[in-house]
């Protein structure tokens, strides 16, 4: 505290205006309520200030038990905003000061209350990391949604026929994907799947239902889980993971 601020606080205290001194530190010098209370109490307890007025001072910042009980009742009902507003109006302090006072009561009511944990996770590097996770999750979920609707649109313009697995194509990792042959308007077509699995999801000579696009017969949708839904399921699951984990972290780290 500067010498000028100290003199001003001492003047308020000599006049018996403790609350005015605290508000002056908040309004003029930007102190929080807790900081202002600490500094004013320190000057008052030091014994250097002699009050000019006798008798009990109305400047005692401590609210009466009735106000504290009302604030506790609001907090118990999950009405923290209303509790802060009540404290602000009754104590005639700034919003930040009322918030600090109400959170002090929250700590009394709940020993496990964490004032700063949620704030630190939601800002700075933690906030950036959470944002990256959520962004990736939305990207995966968007891709799954795009594939689903593109596939559904193609099926609307398709006919369902029978195809046959004529061979299994293997990749370097030993996984297999089917090569399907089907006939459309008297002409035979071949479709090479890009969905590899191990063990194989199909077997040679197996008949499989396929949707053939009437406008583009080379564009087919194999009506099976591995061909139609697997990639959508994987992308959706990854999206849910990347979005869900940050939301859970924010939920459990937010003070209540």
Tokens of 30: 């930007």
Res. 159: pLDDT tops 60: yes
CA distances from 3 to 10, 50, 112 (A): 10, 18, 39
If asked whether residues 160 and 213 sit together in one domain, one would say yes
If asked whether residues 91 and 37 sit together in one domain, one would say no
Rounded average pLDDT over 135-152: 94
Structural domain includes residue 53: no
- The enclosing H or E element of 124 equals helix 124-156
Structural domain includes residue 123: no
What is the spatial distance between Cα 238 and Cα 127, in angstroms, rounded to a whole number? 20
If asked whether residues 171 and 229 sit together in one domain, one would say yes
Residue 14: give the domain boundaries.
3-46
User: pLDDT-based confidence at 115, cuts 50/70/90?
Assistant: very low
If asked whether residues 157 and 204 sit together in one domain, one would say yes
If asked whether residues 180 and 226 sit together in one domain, one would say yes
If asked whether residues 38 and 89 sit together in one domain, one would say no
DSSP three-state, residue 7: helix
Structural domain includes residue 133: no
- Tally of CA atoms within 13 A in the half-sphere of 215 that contains its CB: 5
Structural domain includes residue 34: yes
- The enclosing H or E element of 163 equals strand 158-170
Structural domain includes residue 77: yes
If asked whether residues 147 and 221 sit together in one domain, one would say yes
Nearest to 195 by CA among 214, 168, 164: 168
Structural domain includes residue 253: no
Report residue 112 CA to chain centroid gap: 21
When divided into structural domains, the chain yields a total of: 3
If asked whether residues 105 and 176 sit together in one domain, one would say no
If asked whether residues 229 and 151 sit together in one domain, one would say yes
Using one digit for the tens of pLDDT, what is the confidence trace for 166-175?
999 999 999 9
10: left (phi over 0), alpha (psi -120 to 50) or beta: alpha
What is the spatial distance between Cα 93 and Cα 160, in angstroms, rounded to a whole number? 73
If asked whether residues 157 and 218 sit together in one domain, one would say yes
Res. 178: pLDDT tops 50: yes
Q: What is the model's pLDDT at position 95?
A: 81
- Tally of CA atoms within 13 A in the half-sphere of 41 that contains its CB: 9
If asked whether residues 217 and 154 sit together in one domain, one would say yes
User: pLDDT-based confidence at 2, cuts 50/70/90?
Assistant: low
Structural domain includes residue 58: no
Nearest to 223 by CA among 206, 246, 247: 206
Nearest to 151 by CA among 236, 237, 223: 223
DSSP three-state, residue 112: coil
User: pLDDT-based confidence at 206, cuts 50/70/90?
Assistant: very high
Structural domain includes residue 127: no
If asked whether residues 183 and 229 sit together in one domain, one would say yes
Using one digit for the tens of pLDDT, what is the confidence trace for 46-100?
655 544 443 334 344 455 678 888 898 998 888 989 999 988 888 777 787 778 7
């Amino acid at each position: 505290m500067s010498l000028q601020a100290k003199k001003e606080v001492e003047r308020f205290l000599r006049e018996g205006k403790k609350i005015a001194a605290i508000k002056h530190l908040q309004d003029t010098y930007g102190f929080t309520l807790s900081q202002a209370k600490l500094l004013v109490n320190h000057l008052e307890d030091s014994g250097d200030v002699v009050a000019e007025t006798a008798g009990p001072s109305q400047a005692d910042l401590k609210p009466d038990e009735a106000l504290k009980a009302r604030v506790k009742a609001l907090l118990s009902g999950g009405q923290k905003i209303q509790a802060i507003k009540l404290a602000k109006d009754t104590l005639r302090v700034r919003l930040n000061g009322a918030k600090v006072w109400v959170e002090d009561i929250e700590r009394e009511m709940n020993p496990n209350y964490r004032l700063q944990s949620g704030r630190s996770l939601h800002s700075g590097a933690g906030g950036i990391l959470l944002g990256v996770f959520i962004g990736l999750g939305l990207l995966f979920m968007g891709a799954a949604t795009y594939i689903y609707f593109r596939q559904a649109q193609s099926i609307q313009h398709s006919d369902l026929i029978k195809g046959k697995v004529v061979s299994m194509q293997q990749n370097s990792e030993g996984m297999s994907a089917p090569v399907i042959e089907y006939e459309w308007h008297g002409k035979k077509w071949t479709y090479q799947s890009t969905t590899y699995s191990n063990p194989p999801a199909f077997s040679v000579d197996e008949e499989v239902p396929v949707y053939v696009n009437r406008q583009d017969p080379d564009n087919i949708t194999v009506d099976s889980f591995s061909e139609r839904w697997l990639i959508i399921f994987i992308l959706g699951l990854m999206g849910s993971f990347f979005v869900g984990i940050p939301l859970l972290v924010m939920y459990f780290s937010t003070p209540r």
